[in-house]
Structure 1
Amino acid sequence: MTILAAIGITVATFAFMEFWAWFMHKFVQHGPLWFLHRSHHVRHPHPVERNDLFFLIYGGISAALFITGENGAHWWYWVGVGIAAYGTVYFFVHDVLIHGRLRFWKKSQNTYLRALNMAHKTHHKTTGRDGSAEFGLLWVSPKYFELARKQAESRKNKITSTDLSR
């Protein structure tokens, strides 16, 4: 396997995982596996929730692909790398940045991260399995970018007007 092919498979898998995560979230987690995902939509004092089982499922798939892929000799090893990379990004973006499950990240002023957070908050407006919107993770609807940009401009204008009044 060439390095270019390995990189291509890894990047393609990572990109596919965004679609797969959206599909699974919308039609499976908010469908037949709601009994696991529900824990993510309700407040609770526990550091772990049933929804975390999805990390174990995808981690297990990725590990199986690593183990049987003979250190990159087979193409599916690189699929496992793409799944693991997406899972890592998912953990940091979703669990650390958005939900603050590890409290070492402060609020960001980055327009993309703020738009992502707004979209996710829209998803969590409903606590039931029906009526949610915005099921993806990394792809954000342009309307949230516009809202985040307007918020940043508004904040900037407030700071400027406060500075001028001193």
Structure 2
Amino acid sequence: MTTLAAVAVAAATFFGMEFVAWFMHRFVLHGPLWFLHRSHHVRHPHRFERNDFFFLFYGALSMLLIVYGSATHDFRFWMGVGIATYGTLYFFVHDVLIHGRLRFWRKSRNTYLRALNMAHKMHHKTTGRDGSEEFGLLWVSPRYFLLALRRPAPTRTLRPGPKAAS
């Protein structure tokens, strides 16, 4: 497989995963698998939630494609790379930035990331199975871009250290 073809397969898989994620979130997670996904829509004191099991499915699929395609670096390998890349971005944007599950990336001044955050917050406004909107991760409705452009970006203020307070 040529380098161009490999990049094309990985990129197509990456972007295709946005549709897969939207479809699965809308019709499966808010459908028959709500009993697992519900944990993501309600506040709880636990570090992990039942919803976290979904990463195992996509991680296993990615790993299998990489393993079975690694001998020849055929399309399976590059599809696995595309899924793994999407999963990595999903983790950093969804779990770290939006939900703050790791505290090293709290706020962003980037308009796109702020719009994405607003759309996701709108999705979580409903705690039930029905009535949610905005099911994707990377695609954001234009109305949230307009909101992000109208609202000022968070300012970065440094808190004084212990010695500065004296």
Q: Same fold (TM over 0.5)?
A: yes
Q: Structure 2 vs 1, CA of residues 127 and 104 (structure 1 numbering), >3 Å: closer, same or farther? A: same
**Deviation per CA, 1:102-150, whole angstroms, max 9, x where unpaired?**
0111311111111001000100000000000000000100000000100
Structure 2 spans left out of the alignment, 5+ residues = 156-166
Q: Structure 2 vs 1, CA of residues 74 and 150 (structure 1 numbering), >3 Å: closer, same or farther? A: same
SS of residue in 1 equivalent to 2:128:
coil
1:46 aligns with 2:46: yes
Q: Runs of 4 or more off by more than 6 Å in structure 1? A: none
**Deviation per CA, 1:63-98, whole angstroms, max 9, x where unpaired?**
110111124532111000000000000000000000
TM-score, normalised to structure 1, is 0.90
Q: Give the aligned CA root-mean-square deviation in angstroms.
A: 1.4
Identity %: 70
Name 1:16's counterpart in structure 2: 16
Aligned residues: 155
SS of residue in 2 equivalent to 1:152:
coil
Identify, as 1 or 2, the structure richer in helix.
1
Name 1:129's counterpart in structure 2: 129
Aligned 1:85-124 pairs, distance under 5 A: 85-124=85-124
1:84 aligns with 2:84: yes
Matching residue's letter, 2:43: R
1:3 aligns with 2:3: yes
Residue 40 of structure 1: CA displacement? 0.3
Q: Would you say the 8 A contact 1:72–1:78 is kept in 2?
A: no
